[in-house]
Structure formats: C-alpha cells, structure tokens
Amino acid sequence: LYFIATIYHHYRKLVGAQHGGVVAFSFCTLVCCAKEAANMSRNPGKNKLNLKLPPGSIEPLDHSGCDPTNDKSTQNTSIEDLQKTLEGLDLDEQQRKRLEAFLSQKQKVGELTSDDFENLGELGAGNGGVVTKVLHRPSGFIMARKLIHLEVKPAIRNQIIRELKVLHECNSPHIVGFYGAFYSDGEINVCMEYMDGGSLDLVLKRAGRIPEKILGKVTIAVLKGLNYLREKHQIMHRDVKPSNMLVNSRGEIKICDFGVSGQLIDSMANSFVGTRSYMSPERLQGTHYTVQSDIWSLGLSLVEMALGRYPIPPPDDRELTAIFGRNYTPESNSGMASGDGPRPMSIFELLDYIVNEAPPSVPAGVFSPEFKDLVDRCLKRNPNERGDLKTLMNHPYVRTSEQEKVDFAGWVCQTMGLDPSTPTKLTPEGQA
C-alpha cells in the first residue's frame, strides 16, 4: 500500500492536483500494483505485506498425538501449575485472585466445539473476523468468540490452530483471557474472555472524548501488557489501536488481538486495510520494525481518544475550539493544523501523510505537559527516537497516573450503561 501511496504522491505532484482534489486512479492499475506489492517477497519470516516477523515470536510446539483442529490443552493443568504460572508476575492480591479464578474456571471448560455455543449477539467486526457474545452451555460461561473465515489448505489451518495455542501461556491482568481455538465450517473460532465494557473505540463513541485521568489508567495497562508480551513471550502486538483495548465493569483494561500466529497474519494479509492507519512509518515503508512500532500505535491511539477523533489530518484551531470550547486558547501547537478544518483523505493520502508529515499531537494548554510529552515521545517518526517500554513506564505521566485514585470501573459503567461487575456466568455458582 505504501508503494501505491508513493506513486499517488508523485502523480498528484505531476498533475498539479489542488488542495482537497481527488486524482482518479485506474482501478486495474491499483489492483495490479497491490498484487505486485503483496507478492514481492516470499521469504521465510515475512508475510504478504513484506512485514518481518520478529525472531522468537512463534516458538515450535510439540503436538504429536494431538488433533490439531481442536485445542484440548485447557484440561490438563494442576493447581500447582496455575500457581507457578503466576510466579514472577508483578500482581497485587486482587489481580492474583482474579487470574487464579479465571484459570481455574478455564479448566472446567474442556474441549470446545461449535455445538456447545449459543449466540447472544454481535459485539463487533474487523481484522477479517466477526466477534460475537456467546454462552458456552456446558460451563455456563459467557465468552467472546471471534470467527475468522479463511479459505486455506488444511495444513495451514492446522498450523494456525497450533500457533494460537501459545495464547494459553499468555496469562496477565492486562491480556484478555484465552479459552481455546478450533476450526469448524470453514472458520477459525477463537474463544476469549468476555469484557462487558467493550472496546475503547466503542467507549469513545459513547463518551465523545476520554478524560486524561482515564487515559492515564489505559496507558499504564497497555504498557504493562506490551511489556509482558515482550519480556515473557518475545511477542510484539503489531495491531495496537482502541478497538483492541478492552474494558469491563470491574475496571480492568486488557489488550487483545496480538500477533502470536505468523501463519494467521500471513493468511489475513489482505484484510489489514482497515488497521493500517495505526501503523508506524517504518511498517508502512516495509522496513525492519520492532516493538517501537507498537509504541507509535499507542501514541496515535491516545491522541485519538483524547481528541475524540482520529488525529490525521490534525485538527486546526477552529476545530479545536469546537472540541474544547473555552478551555482551548489558540497558540503555537506543533502537530496541529492550520486552515479551514478537516478534509477527507484517501487511504493513499493518509499513508503518505503518516510517512512524510509531522506526527500529530495534543494541544498545549488543554492537556497536562506530562501527557503531551508522553504522546510526543511515542510519535517520533524515527523509531530510534521514540521512548521505549521501560522509559515510558517510568515517565512522569505514568508515575502520576499510578498514584491517582480514579474510579475507572465507575466511569466505564456510567459511560456504557452497565451495572457494576456484570457477571460472566449465567448460573449463580462461580459468578465473577
């Protein structure tokens, strides 16, 4: 796509397109370019978008004697194993008890099959799949089930199921819980913990904007989640955005949809169009990228949630005044636009803007200097200049947010119209 965006950028210059104008590309030409870009490299460790997978992100597992199309590994974990799993994690007592409860409940689920689920409604769609709220009848648990339709060979789908089993080892208060995955009727089924508050993109639509103190708690959770994936599993997320940050009525914030399956990433390459607007410049250019790319995506997400809209192109003074009212005083704001307000951008203009223009920011004077500094450190075009996970976790904004008393659960419940601590089990026994 960046290859196409570059052509678009130079073509506009060539024809002298006016501000806001649209250059009509030949559809056939774009399709040919997209196919060429997607097929440029078939080297191991790369997917169809020529994105390099980090070494160690997928560890080979021994699945001899197992049916690869069904995940039965939830059944054979002892209490001692559960306790050992939680050793070494920086958990408070409440987090430890909740994780132990989830892992103990997970043992009761057993083998997952499509016949055991009752559909309770759609939660969302994106990234090549539809997410539904379901009841697992044998256990009484409410889960979120993601259905990913893939037309792939049996060997590839079996590999995807095997790779997804790595999710069983990802146990953190900041990572959405995983029940298992299986293949049925042409679809990969990924069964996850149900988060009743939904994703932050939906919360943002309800709230209009998300207050800075609330974003402080979000920042802490996402940074800790990313750090856990990196330190414990050598995994990058690769798709950090508000729709992959989930919240619930207990006040928990967890990330989901991180890239443990290289084969799934490869198989879904053509479905990533909707998420590329959160990709870092180096990813869009197809160059080597690291966890610093996730830092960019976090920064962009924070700016979006703070402003109440996707920040590219950045809002000008008129729009900022409309957003913040008397709280906003026009002044010199880097990363802010000047002009007559936002204009629609094609995907090609957007990608070109991300790579070549100044990164977005939040307006000075409206947000604390610490918050503005944190997002600015995340949104450096050069990944070597961005704050790393360790630096950001010790940033003054994060440290202050850790000390602040914020009723995050109450805010989520009020915003989303929830009762406190909505149960995740329909029967009285074992309610959350």
Q: In Å, how far from its chain's centre is CA 236?
A: 11
pLDDT bracket for residue 8 (50, 70, 90): low
Average pLDDT value over all residues in the chain? 78
Strands 245-247 and 117-126: unpaired
Compute the radius of gyration of the chain from its Cα atoms: 22
- DSSP one-letter string for 250-299: TS-EEE------HHHHHHTGGGGGGGGGGS-HHHHTT----THHHHHHHH
Q: How do residues 78-130 score in pLDDT, each as one tens digit?
A: 556 666 767 778 788 899 899 988 988 888 898 899 999 999 999 987 656 78
Mean pLDDT for the stretch of residues 343-357: 87
Q: Summarize the annotated binding site as residue ranges.
A: 146
Q: Which of these ranges, 22-36, 244-258, 307-321, 408-422, has the smallest mean pLDDT?
A: 22-36
Local structure of 386: helix, strand or coil: coil
Least confident among 24-28, 122-126, 182-186: 24-28
Active site annotation includes 239 = yes
User: For 10-24, 71-85, 303-317, which range has the lowest pLDDT when averaged over its residues?
Assistant: 10-24
**pLDDT of res. 331:** 61
With H, G, I as helix, E, B as strand and everything else as coil, classify residue 356. Answer: helix
Q: Which residues contact 180 (CB under 8 A, 6 or more apart)?
A: 71, 72, 73, 74, 109, 111, 112, 168, 191
Q: How far apart are CA 266 and CA 261, in angstroms?
A: 9
Residue 22 zone, left/alpha/beta (φ > 0; ψ -120 to 50; rest): beta
**Res 73: pLDDT:** 46
**Binding site as annotated, residues for ATP:** 146
Report how far apart, in Å, the C-alpha atoms of 335 and of each of 55, 332, 342, 358 are: 35, 10, 14, 6
The model's pTM is 0.79
Marked catalytic residue, from 71, 196, 201, 239: 239
Q: Which domains does the chain have, with CATH numbers?
A: 79-193 (3.30.200.20), 198-416 (1.10.510.10)
pLDDT at residue 126, as a whole number? 66
Query: Tens digits of per-residue pLDDT, 221-274?
Result: 999 999 999 999 888 898 899 999 999 999 999 999 876 555 566 555 555 555
Residues 354-387 pLDDT 10s = 999 999 999 988 999 999 999 999 999 999 999 9
Confidence of residue 52 (pLDDT cuts 50, 70, 90): very low
